[in-house]
């Protein structure tokens, strides 16, 4: 009878424990049932397969500045700006800040272990249980605890949040994407900096030509003024013609001063961009009318996704926003945190290192939100809204880039045709001015005809100069719109694709640009640094004149070679609530055209590598064989 009672009591206790555990699990799981649904974005327009019927196998974005502009004075200005421009240095520090954020996030999912030690004095009230207890409890035979007693201790503490749902690792990956986005923002600024310097450089050349035009017109008008004055003295003309020629001369002298002021401002703008105080900008304007930069080759539209830094920046920001949604979603689920410690503790320092002084504890806590989840819900919905912003921004940047290419390439074409017509007009007006001067000298026409002919010639030259300036600016902007101007460093003249090769570091270079220079990709930068770690201990501390040994790819550490990121589609659909950051795969490329981010080992036939006037660089496959 007693045995059956004991068995029934034991079964009842087990049932109670099972019910308590089941209720606890339900309380932990219930919070995840209140996750709000995600909003889906509107799809963007599909990227066209060509630029209004224009495509090509070559792409000008693959050309370096030396080959594209072919003007050493201009490229020297650009190279100095890439080293000394202050806004670029600010962006470099922004990249370093985001890199530090990645470093911070990379350790968040690992255990935090700390070492602590302490010494203290305590006194308790005699009118408390603790005070009465230590007063009545003997410490040594015949002795009692002192009311002021010391505390000595030291040990190791552990705190570890288990990353069950990849929340901390997703936050780390989001920080890595933002680091890449900051790098692409810096690269996009480089393209705008190169374009602004080149555009201002050509505008200075145009202002030089306008001064030259005014000097030529002033010379013509000076002769006409002298003829008019001679005719007046001979009684064959009136003072009116002399005054009109004199007024026109004064007008042109005044305009020369205005142009000189524009030249000063243009030079100082370039000086500011290259971070130097006002001085003359060296240039050769003699061949301005016939100046031809490298012809524009547009390639295919899908290459914009690879060549434009602002598109790559928007893509990385989109990936980071998707991971932020995952991070915010995990807040609805229970979090498991383990804490513990082990060490030594004693009231008397003499006994601190005895085995009996060892103390330790370990505990695990499972915490989940149950009531008042407004803050968590708001963070989740905010992350969803930011993801939508990133998607729409990605679509906008692609559309803007495509439109810029269309506009600027058409500008180059139309301005080029207009220049040819204006040159013919200018030749006709020069002949007309010559005839008018001869007729005026022989008293066959009035002064007004000469004046109008000279004025028409001056205006036609100004229009030709302005049109040529706009044509050059359109070429510069088309080069930038295609993504050109990032790879600005050419390979050394003595490099012929033979590995190993000793590279001497130049101003503005780092391991990423050196990897891009010799391997056509920046993903080998860390592996290249590891191979040269003995001579260059710090990855970010390259100095001008340092020696970097360029090895074949197969001799680099494969674990340090960065894989290319997967592309984000132009118009991704919103992920379901169960997996908010997984975007659908990008649409397949057009027939015969590889995707903008091909996997390792593939090659885009629409891209032809170039390296200034030097020999073409070998492919990574050739480099891997050491040839």
**What's the pLDDT at 139?**
52
Of the two residues 36 and 604, the one the predictor is more confident about is 36
**What's the pLDDT at 161?**
87
Give CA separation, 354 vs 97, 348, 551, in Å.
48, 11, 58
3-state secondary structure 290-319: CCCCCCCCECCHHHHHHHCHHHHHHHHHHH
Q: What sign does the CA torsion over 344, 348, 354, 355 have?
A: negative
Which residues, including other chains, have CB under 8 Å from residue 374's CB and lie 6 or more apart?
none
Residue 473 domain-assigned (yes or no): no
Residue 262 half-sphere exposure toward CB, CA atoms < 13 A: 17
Quick: pLDDT tens for 561-616: 875 444 333 333 344 333 433 333 333 333 333 333 333 333 333 333 333 333 33
**What's the pLDDT at 477?**
94
Of the two residues 156 and 242, the one the predictor is more confident about is 156
Quick: pLDDT tens for 515-535: 767 776 667 888 888 899 888
Residue 380 has pLDDT above 60, yes or no: yes
Closest listed residue to residue 564, CA positions, set 603, 593, 534, 532: 603
Closest listed residue to residue 335, CA positions, set 110, 166, 576: 166
**What's the pLDDT at 492?**
61
Residue 372 domain-assigned (yes or no): no
Residue 578 domain-assigned (yes or no): yes
Both 6 and 115 in one domain: the answer is no
Residue 66 has pLDDT above 60, yes or no: yes
**What's the pLDDT at 627?**
44
d(CA 224, CA 511): 65
Of the two residues 210 and 565, the one the predictor is more confident about is 210
What is the average pLDDT across 22-27? Answer: 58
DSSP-H helix ranges across 509-589 = 511-519, 525-531
Query: For the chain, what percentages of helix, strand and coil (3-state, to nearest 5) are there?
Result: 55, 10, 35
How many domains does the chain divide into? Answer: 3
Phi-psi region for residue 221, left (φ > 0), alpha (ψ -120 to 50) or beta?
Answer: alpha
Quick: pLDDT tens for 165-208: 889 999 999 998 999 899 899 999 999 999 999 999 999 999 99
What is the average pLDDT across 287-308? Answer: 89
Residue 22 domain-assigned (yes or no): yes
How does DSSP classify residue 576?
A: P
Inter-residue contact 198 to 474 (CB < 8 Å): no
> 271 preceded by cis ω (within 30°)?
no
| Whole-model pTM over 0.75 | no
Residue 510 has pLDDT above 70, yes or no: yes
User: Beta strands 148-161 and 335-346: pairing type?
Assistant: antiparallel
Taking the CB of residue 475, how many other CB atoms lie within 10 A of it?
Answer: 28
**What's the pLDDT at 553?**
84
The whole-chain average pLDDT of the chain stands at 79
Both 6 and 122 in one domain: the answer is no
Backbone phi, psi, residue 599, to 5°: -75, 170
Quick: pLDDT tens for 275-294: 999 999 999 998 898 888 88
d(CA 204, CA 201): 5
Q: Which of 7-16, 238-247, 248-257 has the lowest mean pLDDT?
A: 7-16
Lookup: tokens for 532: 């040269």
d(CA 128, CA 116): 30
Taking the CB of residue 273, how many other CB atoms lie within 10 A of it?
Answer: 22
Q: Which of 131-140, 148-157, 332-341, 375-384 has the lowest mean pLDDT?
A: 131-140
Q: Which of 254-268, 336-350, 484-498, 528-542 has the lowest mean pLDDT?
A: 484-498
The model's confidence at residue 312, banded by pLDDT at 50, 70 and 90, is very high
Residue 277 domain-assigned (yes or no): no
Closest listed residue to residue 614, CA positions, set 547, 486, 518: 518
Both 614 and 528 in one domain: the answer is yes
Both 500 and 620 in one domain: the answer is yes
Which residues, including other chains, have CB under 8 Å from residue 244's CB and lie 6 or more apart?
447, 448, 451
Residue 362 has pLDDT above 60, yes or no: yes
Domain span at residue 130?
110-162+334-367
Inter-residue contact 301 to 334 (CB < 8 Å): no
d(CA 134, CA 513): 71
Residue 65 domain-assigned (yes or no): no
d(CA 206, CA 50): 34
Give CA separation, 29 vs 34, 166, 369, 389, in Å.
10, 18, 10, 31
Q: Which of 26-40, 200-214, 263-277, 372-386 has the lowest mean pLDDT?
A: 26-40
The model's confidence at residue 64, banded by pLDDT at 50, 70 and 90, is confident
Residue 142 has pLDDT above 60, yes or no: no
Helix (H) or strand (E) holding 623, with range, is: helix 620-624
Quick: pLDDT tens for 404-442: 999 999 999 999 999 899 888 888 888 888 888 788 777
Using DSSP, state whether 151 is helix, strand or coil.
strand
Residue 151 domain-assigned (yes or no): yes
Residue 27 has pLDDT above 70, yes or no: no
Inter-residue contact 226 to 271 (CB < 8 Å): no
pLDDT above 90: percentage of residues in the chain: 28
Which residues, including other chains, have CB under 8 Å from residue 433's CB and lie 6 or more apart?
220, 450, 453, 454, 457
pLDDT above 70: percentage of residues in the chain: 78
Which residues, in sequence order, are bridge partners of residue 34? none
Give buried/exposed letters for 449-463 (b at 16+ CB in 10 A, else e): ebbebbbbbbebbbe
Inter-residue contact 528 to 558 (CB < 8 Å): no
Q: Which of 20-24, 376-380, 455-459 has the lowest mean pLDDT?
A: 20-24
Residue 169 domain-assigned (yes or no): no
Residue 333 has pLDDT above 60, yes or no: yes
**What's the pLDDT at 614?**
37
Taking the CB of residue 496, how many other CB atoms lie within 10 A of it?
Answer: 12
**What's the pLDDT at 621?**
40
Both 29 and 157 in one domain: the answer is no
**What's the pLDDT at 87?**
94
**What's the pLDDT at 597?**
31
**What's the pLDDT at 507?**
56
Helix (H) or strand (E) holding 152, with range, is: strand 148-161
d(CA 400, CA 406): 10
**What's the pLDDT at 589?**
36
Q: Please report, for the domain that includes residue 124, its CATH number.
A: 2.20.200.10
**What's the pLDDT at 617?**
38
Backbone phi, psi, residue 338, to 5°: -110, 130
Both 30 and 114 in one domain: the answer is no
Inter-residue contact 528 to 556 (CB < 8 Å): yes
């Amino acid at each position: 009878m007693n045995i059956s009672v004991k068995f029934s009591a034991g079964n009842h206790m087990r049932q109670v424990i099972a019910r308590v555990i089941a209720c606890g699990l339900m309380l932990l799981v219930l919070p995840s049932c209140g996750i709000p649904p995600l909003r889906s974005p509107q799809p963007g327009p599909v990227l066209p397969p060509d630029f209004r019927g224009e495509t090509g196998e070559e792409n000008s974005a693959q050309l370096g500045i030396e080959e594209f502009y072919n003007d050493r004075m201009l490229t020297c200005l650009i190279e100095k700006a890439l080293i000394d421009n202050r806004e670029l240095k600010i962006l470099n520090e922004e990249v370093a800040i985001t890199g530090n954020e990645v470093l911070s996030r990379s350790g968040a999912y690992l255990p935090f272990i700390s070492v602590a030690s302490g010494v203290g004095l305590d006194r308790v009230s005699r009118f408390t249980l603790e005070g009465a207890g230590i007063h009545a409890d003997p410490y040594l035979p015949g002795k009692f605890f002192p009311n002021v007693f010391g505390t000595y201790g030291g040990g190791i503490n552990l705190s570890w949040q288990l990353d069950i749902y990849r929340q901390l690792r997703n936050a780390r990956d989001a920080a890595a994407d933002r680091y890449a986005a900051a790098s692409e923002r810096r690269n996009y600024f480089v393209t705008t900096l190169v374009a602004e310097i080149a555009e201002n450089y050509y505008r200075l050349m145009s202002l030089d030509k306008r001064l030259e035009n005014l000097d030529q017109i002033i010379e013509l008008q000076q002769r006409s003024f002298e003829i008019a004055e001679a005719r007046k003295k001979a009684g064959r003309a009136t003072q009116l013609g002399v005054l009109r020629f004199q007024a026109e001369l004064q007008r042109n002298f005044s305009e020369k001063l205005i142009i000189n002021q524009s030249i000063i401002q243009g030079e100082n703008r370039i000086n500011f961009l290259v971070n130097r105080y006002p001085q003359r900008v060296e240039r050769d304007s003699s061949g301005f009318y016939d100046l031809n930069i490298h012809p524009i080759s547009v390639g295919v539209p899908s290459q914009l996704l690879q060549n434009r830094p602002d598109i790559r920046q928007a893509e990385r920001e989109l990936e980071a926003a998707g991971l932020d949604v995952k991070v915010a979603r995990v807040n609805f689920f229970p979090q498991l945190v383990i804490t513990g410690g082990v060490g030594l503790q004693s009231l008397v320092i003499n006994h601190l290192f005895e085995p009996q002084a060892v103390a330790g504890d370990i505990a695990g806590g499972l915490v989940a939100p149950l009531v008042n989840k407004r803050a968590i819900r708001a963070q989740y919905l905010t992350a969803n809204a930011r993801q939508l912003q990133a998607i729409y921004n990605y679509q906008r940047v692609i559309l803007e880039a495509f439109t810029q290419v269309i506009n600027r390439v058409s500008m180059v074409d139309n301005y080029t045709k207009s220049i040819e017509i204006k040159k013919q007009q200018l030749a006709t007006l020069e002949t007309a001015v010559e005839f008018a001067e001869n007729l005026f000298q022989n008293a066959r026409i009035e002064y007004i005809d000469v004046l109008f002919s000279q004025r028409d010639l001056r205006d036609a030259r100004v229009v030709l100069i302005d049109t040529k300036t706009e044509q050059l600016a359109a070429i510069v902007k088309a080069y930038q719109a295609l993504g050109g101007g990032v790879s600005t460093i050419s390979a050394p003249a003595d490099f012929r694709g033979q590995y190993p090769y000793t590279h001497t570091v130049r101003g503005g270079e780092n391991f990423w640009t050196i990897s891009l220079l010799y391997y056509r990709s920046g993903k080998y930068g860390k592996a290249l640094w590891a191979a040269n770690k003995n001579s260059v201990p710090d990855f970010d501390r390259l100095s001008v004149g340092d020696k970097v040994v360029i090895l074949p790819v197969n001799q680099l550490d494969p674990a340090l070679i960065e894989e290319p990121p997967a592309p984000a589609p132009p118009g991704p659909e919103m992920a379901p609530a169960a997996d908010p950051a997984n975007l659908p795969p990008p649409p397949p490329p057009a027939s015969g055209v590889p995707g903008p981010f091909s996997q390792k080992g593939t090659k885009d036939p629409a891209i032809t590598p170039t390296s200034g006037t030097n020999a073409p660089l070998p492919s990574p496959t050739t480099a891997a064989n050491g040839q």
